[in-house]
C-alpha cells in the first residue's frame, strides 16, 4: 500500500493534473472517500446522483488498481496532497517560447490587487504583454488557490461558448437534466479558485456576465481578466498594462531590448490609458 501511495503521489507532477488520469470530479469523490463519507453523503455533497458516485468509485478502483473503497480512502491523502514542496500547477497555460522580461513591480501590483479584489482586469492595447503577464501571475498566484487555477484562452472561443471552454478545462460535465453553467458554478462553489479569462476583448459582455455570476455564486473564486477594454462588470478593478515607453528605467530597457522586434512591429505610440 505504502509503495502504491508513493508511486501515485510521484505521478502527480506539476502540470500533470491528478494522479492516474483522475478527472477533477473523481478527485473530489476520492477526497470524500478519504473523509469516510457514504455514497449518499458524497452524492449530497457534490450534487450528483448516487449512481454517478458509484460509477466514479468503480472508475477510481480501476484506475488505482485497488480492491475496495477502504483502500481508496487510505490513498486519498497521499494522492491529493500536492507533491512535496511543489504547488499544483495552473491548467491551460499556453506554451511560451520566451522567458519573461522585467515588469516585476507591475506583476506584484496585480498580485496584491488579487488579494483584495475578486475581479481584476488587466487592460491595454494588443501586443502590450497582457497575456504574458497573466501567465506569470497565474504561476505566482497558484499556491494561494489550492482548489485550482485555470487559464482560459478565449481567443478561439465564440460568444456563447465561454461556459463550455471553462467546463472543458476544469473537466466539468453536466448531470442529466442539469445545465452546464449550473454544473460549473457547483464545481467552483467550494474552495479557493483562480480563473484567468485571457483575451476577453471580443466577448466583453459575455465575459462580464460570466464573471459576475461566478463572483455572486462562488465566494472562493477570484477572476483575472485580460482585455483591450475593461469588462465593465460589477466589482471590477482595472489595472492598465502600460505600453512600452522610451526606456527610462532598467526594467523597461531590458524588456524593450528583448522585444525590439515586437516594438518595431507595433510602433511605440501610447494609447490613452489611465495610469
Which range touches Mg ion (CB under 5 A), out of 66-74, 95-103, 113-121, 125-133?
A: 125-133
User: How is residue 152 written as a grid cell?
Assistant: 482560459
- Specify the DSSP element, H or E, that contains 169: helix 162-170
CB of 182 to ligand ADP, least distance (A): 31
Q: How far is CA 17 from CA 65, 237, 268, in A?
A: 19, 30, 40
Count, residues near Mg ion per rule CB under 5 A: 3
**Maximum pairwise Cα distance, the chain:** 66
CB of 135 to ligand ADP, least distance (A): 8
Q: Which residues contact 88 (CB under 8 A, 6 or more apart)?
A: 14, 82, 142, 146, 148, 149
Distance of alpha carbon 84 from alpha carbon 268, whole angstroms: 45
Given ligand ADP, Mg ion, none, residue 230, with its beta carbon under 5 to 8 Å by kind, binds none
- Judged by CB under 5 A, the chain residues 74 through 113 that form the site for Mg ion are none
Q: Please choose, from the candidates 215, 237, 263, 246, the residue with its C-alpha nearest in 3D space to the C-alpha of residue 109.
A: 237
Given Mg ion, ligand ADP, none, residue 17, with its beta carbon under 5 to 8 Å by kind, binds none
Q: Residue 117 interacts with Mg ion (CB under 5 A)? A: no
Query: Residue 163 or residue 199: which is nearer to ligand ADP going by CB?
Result: 199
Q: Please choose, from the candidates 88, 90, 145, the residue with its C-alpha nearest in 3D space to the C-alpha of residue 115.
A: 145
Distance of alpha carbon 74 from alpha carbon 91, whole angstroms: 27
* Residue with the three cell numbers 526594467: 251
Query: Residue 75 or residue 225: which is nearer to Mg ion going by CB?
Result: 225
CB of 226 to ligand ADP, least distance (A): 6
CB of 208 to Mg ion, least distance (A): 17
- The answer to whether residues 194 and 241 touch, using CB atoms and an 8 Å cutoff, is no
CB of 199 to ligand ADP, least distance (A): 7
Query: By beta-carbon distance, which residue lies closest to ligand ADP?
Result: 129
Given ligand ADP, Mg ion, none, residue 181, with its beta carbon under 5 to 8 Å by kind, binds none
Query: Residue 12 or residue 132: which is nearer to ligand ADP going by CB?
Result: 132
- Judged by CB under 5 A, the chain residues 171 through 200 that form the site for Mg ion are 199
Could you tell me the sign of the dihedral formed by the alpha carbons of 265, 266, 269, 275, in that order? negative
Distance of alpha carbon 261 from alpha carbon 256, whole angstroms: 9
CB of 97 to ligand ADP, least distance (A): 7
User: How is residue 58 written as a grid cell?
Assistant: 468503480
CB of 253 to ligand ADP, least distance (A): 13
Positions that interact with ligand ADP (CB under 6 A): 98, 100-103, 124, 126-132, 226, 255, 258-259, 262
Which residues here bind Mg ion, judged by CB under 5 A?
A: 130-131, 199
Amino acid at each position: 500500500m505504502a509503495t502504491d501511495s508513493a508511486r501515485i503521489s510521484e505521478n502527480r507532477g506539476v502540470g500533470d493534473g491528478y494522479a492516474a488520469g483522475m478527472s477533477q470530479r473523481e478527485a473530489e469523490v476520492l477526497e470524500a472517500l478519504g473523509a469516510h463519507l457514504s455514497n449518499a453523503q458524497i452524492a449530497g455533497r457534490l450534487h450528483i446522483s448516487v449512481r454517478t458516485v458509484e460509477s466514479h468509485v468503480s472508475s477510481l478502483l480501476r484506475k488505482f488498481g485497488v480492491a475496495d473503497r477502504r483502500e481508496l480512502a487510505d490513498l486519498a491523502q497521499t494522492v491529493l496532497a500536492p507533491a512535496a514542496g511543489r504547488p499544483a500547477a495552473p491548467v491551460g497555460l499556453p506554451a511560451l517560447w520566451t522567458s519573461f522580461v522585467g515588469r516585476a513591480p507591475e506583476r506584484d501590483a496585480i498580485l496584491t490587487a488579487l488579494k483584495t479584489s475578486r475581479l481584476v482586469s488587466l487592460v491595454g492595447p494588443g501586443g502590450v504583454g497582457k497575456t504574458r503577464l497573466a501567465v506569470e501571475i497565474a504561476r505566482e498566484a497558484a499556491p494561494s488557490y489550492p482548489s485550482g487555477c485555470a487559464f482560459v484562452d478565449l481567443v478561439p472561443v465564440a460568444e456563447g461558448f465561454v461556459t463550455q471552454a471553462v467546463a472543458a478545462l476544469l473537466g466539468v460535465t453536466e448531470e442529466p437534466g442539469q445545465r452546464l453553467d449550473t454544473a460549473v458554478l457547483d464545481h467552483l462553489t467550494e474552495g479557493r479558485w483562480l480563473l484567468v479569462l485571457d483575451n476577453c476583448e471580443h466577448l466583453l459582455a459575455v465575459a462580464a456576465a460570466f464573471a459576475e455570476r461566478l463572483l455572486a455564486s462562488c465566494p472562493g473564486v477570484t477572476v483575472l481578466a485580460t482585455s483591450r477594454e475593461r469588462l465593465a462588470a460589477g466589482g471590477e478593478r482595472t489595472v492598465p498594462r502600460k505600453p512600452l515607453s522610451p526606456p527610462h528605467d532598467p526594467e523597461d530597457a531590458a524588456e524593450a531590448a528583448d522585444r525590439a522586434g515586437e516594438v518595431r512591429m507595433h510602433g511605440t505610440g501610447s494609447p490613452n490609458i489611465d495610469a
